[in-house]
Structure 1
Amino acid sequence: MTIPFAVPECRVAHLVERHDDHLVVPVRLDAATGCCPECGQASRSVHGRYHRHPADLPLSASRTTLRIEVRRFYCLNPTCRRRTFAQTPTDLLAPRARRTRRLCEARARVGRACGGAGGARLLAHLHMPASRATVLRLVTHLPMPDAPAPIRVGIDDWAIRKGSRYGTIVADLDRRRVVDLLPDRTAPTVAGWLERHSGVALVARDRSTEYARGASLGAPQAQQVADRWHLLTNMRQAVERWLQGAHARLRSLPLLPGSTARPARRDRACARSTTELEAGAQSRMRWQVVYDEVRRRHAGGEPLLGIARALGLARATVRKYASAETFPARLPHGAGPSLLDPHIPYLAARIDEGCENAMALWREIREQGYPGTSRQVHRFVAQRRTRSVGSGRKARSAKASASEPPGSEARLPPARQLAWLLVQPTSVLDESEAAVVSRVEQDDTAQAVAGLARRFTALVRAAGKGKPLADDQDAAADIVAWITKARTCEASAIATFAAGLEADIAAVRAALTEPWSSGQAEGQVNRLTLIKRQCYGRAGLDLLKRRMVVAA
């Protein structure tokens, strides 16, 4: 049997030997002489022979092993400290290696694409078996590619361990490739990388002050561009922060004439049990105490970070409580999807006919395909019951809905959803959303916030759609005018956001006039997160860097 491929620096000595589970290919080295690795003198004087058995690429559907006859020569140089040396096929094998270079490369490529555990499973199927530790070791030994020096880069943070440690990803915007992974997201690390790559002329980033400072220190000649998506997100977050404090006041606004208070469908969750209601009330009392303590400390002049550390709270929670005019109670749950929804019209019609037996109704809809238990049917019927139940307990009448908390008929969306509506152009809102926005804009401050948010969103989106402003002067005039107006807004969150834009005005202006953004880095972060999760905890920075950069 012959083999259909060549073996570098060798020739097949005999026929291939077939064993039960693999093939053995006997080969000899082509060279008749050897050169001493110490002095370089050639020699033909053979001292002895021995065999090496490295694994090689599989042949057909069998593992393949080479049996290489290696000759050991005498060194004929009397001044050389070596007496003998072995003839080594350097192109085929590394010193003392148990596998050929091409097999190592094939395993490393599989590991780069599939990771350690996944690569080991695939290699076993391809008849190149290796442990997952070996696969990862081969990946980490892959050389880094020689790439041209980047000119325009995008930087973004990524979670090494979410909530604890973060790194920085650097992407070449021109080549659309990952350039490097940095161990943290601090300004000195970013500045050091930019100093080592002095040819960088543009840095696209989010609005992190650390990245802004690192880019200014490491590449003062480079133009910084704020990412447009982050600008829009920061605007919405500023509106949301203001709404979290003003939501209670806005809920008291009356409905506009002609608007529908409650849609003709289930708009709230089913009634909860007494135990669930008591647990919710106790939770509210605990958070009310925390809210009062945060407000007291904030009024006393303590910084938000100090309050968060003293009370063991997240800074976002402390910031929300400190800016809230009243306790930001959790809003009543809306109507989520339920197995009962397709059968509600039938149940409502049967109740109108006088049937209020929950078990009988459950049996009827079960025959129609309802897969759930009778619990939800009991809750649904209890909210609409007009006659007393047999146990003597006081029945809940259909008129009991009038005793619900004030404002339940005119419920507002949560702050996050309402912020999204306020930053959208009014032309894209449907009828119900436009009614909510019109009702909120009865408040003067809300009207001013919504107007500023829409104007800023229009400026950024015009640039994002490839329609930047006419020139730098127009961009500067528009954004400076917006900042000047926003700084005088009664909503402190909007004024703070405008102050941050003013401090970063050069990068913000570049975002409106330049086509570059850090979107490519954001996309690479998604890919990096997938690779990190595939590593099952074996995701060191060096391994991730090779799987990201070498694959690019």
Structure 2
Amino acid sequence: MFCCRIVGVRVEHVGLTDAELRLAVRSRAVSVECPGCGQGSSRVHCYYQRILADRPVAGRRVRLELRARRLVCRNEGCVRRTFAEQIPALTRRYARRTDVLTAQLTDVALFLDGRAGTRLSGRLAVTTRKDTLLRLIRALPLPPPAAVPVLGVDEFAVRRGRTYATILIDMSSHRPVDVLPDRAAGTFASWLRNHPEVRTVCRDREGSFRDGAQAGAPQAQQEADSWHLLHNLAEAVERVLGRHRAEPRERLASHDDQEEDGRPQKEPGRTELDVHGRPRPLVARTRDRYQQIHERIARGDSLRAIARDLQLSRGTVNRFANAADAEELLGAATHRPTLVDDYRFYLHQRWTEGCINASALTREIQQLGYCGDVNTVRRHLEPYRNGTIPTTAPLPHMTVRRVTDWIMRRPECLTDTERKCLDELSDRSTALATTVQYARRLALLVRERRNEHPALDVRIADVRLDGRQELRTLANGTGRDHAAVQAALATTCTSGPVDGDVTRIKLLKRQMYGRASFDLLRRRILLSA
């Protein structure tokens, strides 16, 4: 028999098996305070047995068989006649686990949630259920509210495309302070009214957050994030290029495949006609579908009805409805890139050096990162074998995303080939040349954080005057958010910590298989940070 002084009990018997350690214990206290009046009592009313689970030892479950006492309160004025003895740091009313095991399971629940936490607990020789772990999370108290002078705000998807919530971050400690059930301006404004200490709001370009901050905290300075400014600019540039998506391929075709008489030849499989001179099925179907959808729109039919009748998704109908003509859609449908596009320059160079074996060339470009097979390389080399060899080396395949990257990158970071492609593309299209010019000017202001009111106003006015529609839309939004954009150019505050918490929230959602209620998700966000 020995004493366990940490928890104030005495061990009377030890039983050990391969899976379990069983301890028979009893309290060492002589007198126990009554929970009703606080007066001590040593008069025992009766004994009863309690079974408690404790943290495992050496891979074995630990079972405490406690001989508990019920005592009589000696204070005649106390509302309690008898009371059950509770051992500090070991037992609670109705509990079947010790406090240390409950704390361990609570940590497991916070960081792994129910199902994964149950599996891990089983590996640790602790038997529990997912519902028990979820109850432990809900039983935890939320952190007390604190003063937040600099607030970061962003949205995240509870159910992508349908339900969104808002995360609020203390930018000084990078810890979440609250989670709002939606992204409405009124909800955000109501929260700010209850926190008048907020002096700065770091946010993205979302209009609801701008309106909510203006209504709930007019004294706070709003600061837009520089990364979001560049991201919005890149999206506008990509939409401009999307309207002219055929132009990069046209320029590429005129440069790559030159016959001896100088006539441009398109690559096999990238024309709108098949080998018999008939329109390809995809081309014909796209033109017919475009005509049907716009005829229905002209009659006043809703997009939902059109999608239902034509058995198309809403996204497809929206894409056809927003297209200026069928050629805009065919640019992506008939000029699709292949895996070998990035290695055309290398293949052309090796062919001119005398290496004409497709298998050998495939092995060489696979070492450079090519992940396709030899058949794709053979199809690419068919014009070479037929005598149609380009007189000049092919330039990189220019997709909309790649050209956008060239425009948004610093000019000094471009290679000679990329700079040549972009210059030729600008020479062929005045609209794209204007887009390149304005995009680089606006990006320079953001990157170098030039806090110059006239410079920013001039750039916005120039874009509004002769910029493309997508850039004018961006300029109008920047004008409405002028103060926040100007603050972004004057400070170094970013929304990086907020975006990091949004990424963490995605992990928490996936751990709960996307089925968690908002209350449970909110608790895990606030308590597991």
With structure 2 as the length reference, what TM-score do the two structures score? Answer: 0.80
- Structure 2 CA distance for partners of 1:377 and 1:347, relative to 1, 3 Å: farther
Amino acid at match of 2:512: C
What is the Cα deviation at residue 481 of structure 1? Answer: 1.1
- Structure 2 CA distance for partners of 1:309 and 1:153, relative to 1, 3 Å: farther
Kindly indicate whether the alpha-carbon contact (under 8 Å) linking 1:154 and 1:204 is maintained by their aligned counterparts in 2.
yes
Partner of 2:329: 328
CA distance in 1, matches of 2:56, 2:483: 59
1:514 has 2:455 as partner: no
Partner of 1:421: 406
Partner of 1:288: 287
Partner of 1:453: 439
| 3-state SS of 1:53 partner | strand
Partner of 1:95: 93
| 3-state SS of 1:207 partner | coil
- Structure 2 CA distance for partners of 1:293 and 1:174, relative to 1, 3 Å: farther
* Aligned equivalent of 1:218, options 216, 219, 223: 216
- Structure 2 CA distance for partners of 1:177 and 1:81, relative to 1, 3 Å: closer
Q: Which moved more, 1:530-539 or 1:51-60?
A: 530-539
CA distance in 2, matches of 1:246, 1:346: 30
Partner of 2:135: 137
Kindly indicate whether the alpha-carbon contact (under 8 Å) linking 1:241 and 1:320 is maintained by their aligned counterparts in 2.
no
CA distance in 2, matches of 1:104, 1:287: 62
CA distance in 2, matches of 1:273, 1:207: 41
- CA-to-partner distance for each residue in 1:214-259, whole Å, 9 max, x for gaps? 2222222111111111111111111222222234467666999xxx
- Structure 2 CA distance for partners of 1:36 and 1:400, relative to 1, 3 Å: same
Partner of 2:462: 485
* Aligned equivalent of 1:238, options 207, 226, 236: 236
| 3-state SS of 1:221 partner | coil
Kindly indicate whether the alpha-carbon contact (under 8 Å) linking 2:256 and 2:390 is maintained by their aligned counterparts in 1.
no
- Structure 2 CA distance for partners of 1:365 and 1:61, relative to 1, 3 Å: closer
Count residues in correspondence: 506
Amino acid at match of 2:48: Y
CA distance in 2, matches of 1:269, 1:186: 51
Kindly indicate whether the alpha-carbon contact (under 8 Å) linking 2:323 and 2:329 is maintained by their aligned counterparts in 1.
no
What is the Cα deviation at residue 73 of structure 1? Answer: 2.1
Partner of 1:168: 166
What is the Cα deviation at residue 461 of structure 1? Answer: 0.8
Kindly indicate whether the alpha-carbon contact (under 8 Å) linking 1:254 and 1:439 is maintained by their aligned counterparts in 2.
no
Amino acid at match of 2:212: G
Kindly indicate whether the alpha-carbon contact (under 8 Å) linking 2:33 and 2:41 is maintained by their aligned counterparts in 1.
yes
Structure 2 residue ranges without an equivalent (≥5):
259-264, 308-312
| 3-state SS of 1:511 partner | helix
- Structure 2 CA distance for partners of 1:250 and 1:335, relative to 1, 3 Å: closer
Kindly indicate whether the alpha-carbon contact (under 8 Å) linking 2:347 and 2:361 is maintained by their aligned counterparts in 1.
no
| 3-state SS of 2:151 partner | strand
What is the Cα deviation at residue 98 of structure 1? Answer: 0.5
CA distance in 1, matches of 2:372, 2:440: 45
Kindly indicate whether the alpha-carbon contact (under 8 Å) linking 1:2 and 1:16 is maintained by their aligned counterparts in 2.
no
What is the Cα deviation at residue 351 of structure 1? Answer: 11
Partner of 2:526: 549
Kindly indicate whether the alpha-carbon contact (under 8 Å) linking 1:215 and 1:224 is maintained by their aligned counterparts in 2.
yes
- Structure 2 CA distance for partners of 1:272 and 1:326, relative to 1, 3 Å: closer
Amino acid at match of 2:494: S
- Structure 2 CA distance for partners of 1:352 and 1:143, relative to 1, 3 Å: closer
CA distance in 1, matches of 2:417, 2:361: 35
Amino acid at match of 2:194: R
- Structure 2 CA distance for partners of 1:349 and 1:27, relative to 1, 3 Å: same
What is the Cα deviation at residue 71 of structure 1? Answer: 1.3
CA distance in 2, matches of 1:207, 1:316: 28
CA distance in 1, matches of 2:234, 2:174: 29
Kindly indicate whether the alpha-carbon contact (under 8 Å) linking 2:109 and 2:117 is maintained by their aligned counterparts in 1.
yes
| 3-state SS of 2:521 partner | helix
CA distance in 1, matches of 2:300, 2:225: 33
Q: Which moved more, 1:314-323 or 1:275-284?
A: 275-284
CA distance in 2, matches of 1:375, 1:252: 25
What is the Cα deviation at residue 213 of structure 1? Answer: 1.2
- CA-to-partner distance for each residue in 1:461-498, whole Å, 9 max, x for gaps? 112xxxx53xxxx2x21111111111112411111111
Kindly indicate whether the alpha-carbon contact (under 8 Å) linking 2:340 and 2:376 is maintained by their aligned counterparts in 1.
no
- CA-to-partner distance for each residue in 1:317-344, whole Å, 9 max, x for gaps? 4498345694331152333059x99x97
Report the identity percentage. Answer: 30
Which residues in structure 2 correspond to 1:61-76 (within 5 Å)? 61-76=59-74
Kindly indicate whether the alpha-carbon contact (under 8 Å) linking 1:158 and 1:168 is maintained by their aligned counterparts in 2.
yes
Q: Which moved more, 1:127-136 or 1:92-101?
A: 127-136
Structure 1 residue ranges without an equivalent (≥5):
356-360, 386-396, 403-408
Partner of 1:436: 421
Kindly indicate whether the alpha-carbon contact (under 8 Å) linking 1:294 and 1:322 is maintained by their aligned counterparts in 2.
no
CA distance in 2, matches of 1:457, 1:308: 39
Tell me how large the CA RMSD over aligned residues is: 4.4
Amino acid at match of 2:435: V
- Structure 2 CA distance for partners of 1:347 and 1:149, relative to 1, 3 Å: closer
Kindly indicate whether the alpha-carbon contact (under 8 Å) linking 2:91 and 2:98 is maintained by their aligned counterparts in 1.
yes
- Structure 2 CA distance for partners of 1:412 and 1:155, relative to 1, 3 Å: same
CA distance in 1, matches of 2:362, 2:491: 60
Partner of 2:262: none
What is the Cα deviation at residue 186 of structure 1? Answer: 1.7
- CA-to-partner distance for each residue in 1:246-304, whole Å, 9 max, x for gaps? 34467666999xxx6369xxx99875999999999333333334434666688x6989x
With structure 1 as the length reference, what TM-score do the two structures score? Answer: 0.77
CA distance in 2, matches of 1:18, 1:43: 35
| 3-state SS of 1:119 partner | helix
Partner of 1:394: none
What is the Cα deviation at residue 64 of structure 1? Answer: 1.5
Kindly indicate whether the alpha-carbon contact (under 8 Å) linking 1:271 and 1:379 is maintained by their aligned counterparts in 2.
no
CA distance in 2, matches of 1:293, 1:310: 9
CA distance in 2, matches of 1:433, 1:131: 59
CA distance in 1, matches of 2:266, 2:485: 43
- CA-to-partner distance for each residue in 1:356-393, whole Å, 9 max, x for gaps? xxxxx879999xx99998865874676566xxxxxxxx
CA distance in 1, matches of 2:274, 2:182: 44
- CA-to-partner distance for each residue in 1:302-323, whole Å, 9 max, x for gaps? 89xx657754533994498345
